[in-house]
Amino acid sequence: MSIGMTRKEVLTEIRNILINIGFSVSEPHSMRSISFDLVAKRDDVLLIIKALGNVDAFNKENAKELQILANLLQGSPFIIGAKSSTSEIEDGVVYFRYGIPIISMGTFKDFFVEEVPPFVFAAPGGLYVHIDGKLLRSIRENNQLSLGSLAEIAKVSRRSIQLYESGMGAMVDAALRIEEFINTPIILPINPLMCYAKTDEETDQWIDSFEKFEGLEKDIFRRLKVLGYNIMPTEKSPFDALTKDTKTLILTSVEHYDGTLAKRAKVVTNISKVIERHSVIFVEKSRKTSLEGAPLIDRNELKNIDDSERIIELILERKGK
Cα–Cα nearest to 93, from 124, 119, 56, 59: 119
Q: Assess contact for 31 and 45: CB atoms under 8 A.
A: no
Cα–Cα nearest to 115, from 192, 3, 46: 192
Lowest mean pLDDT across 84-88, 108-112, 217-221, 255-259: 255-259
What are 153-201's pLDDT values in tens digits?
999 999 999 999 998 999 999 999 999 999 999 999 999 999 876 655 5
What are 63-78's pLDDT values in tens digits?
988 998 998 899 999 9
Query: What is the DSSP annotation of 142-188?
Result: HTT--HHHHHHHHTS-HHHHHHHHTT--EEHHHHHHHHHHHTS--EE
Q: Assess contact for 120 and 89: CB atoms under 8 A.
A: no
Fold for the domain defined by 7-118: Trna Endonuclease; Chain: A, domain 1 (3.40.1350)
What residue ranges do the domains of the chain occupy? 7-118, 126-188, 215-318
The pLDDT value recorded for residue 204 is 57
Phi, psi of 114 (to 5 degrees): -90, -10
* The pairing of beta strand 187-188 with beta strand 76-83: unpaired
Fold for the domain defined by 215-318: Restriction Endonuclease (3.40.91)
The pLDDT value recorded for residue 14 is 96
Please give the model's pTM, rounded to 2 decimal places: 0.90
What are 11-65's pLDDT values in tens digits?
999 999 999 999 999 998 777 678 999 999 999 999 999 999 999 999 998 998 8
Average pLDDT, the chain: 90
Task: List the beta bridge partners of residue 100.
Answer: 97
Q: Which CATH number fits domain 126-188: 3.40.50.800, 3.40.50.720, 1.20.120.1200, 1.10.260.40?
A: 1.10.260.40
CA dihedral 47, 48, 54, 58 (to 10 degrees): -140
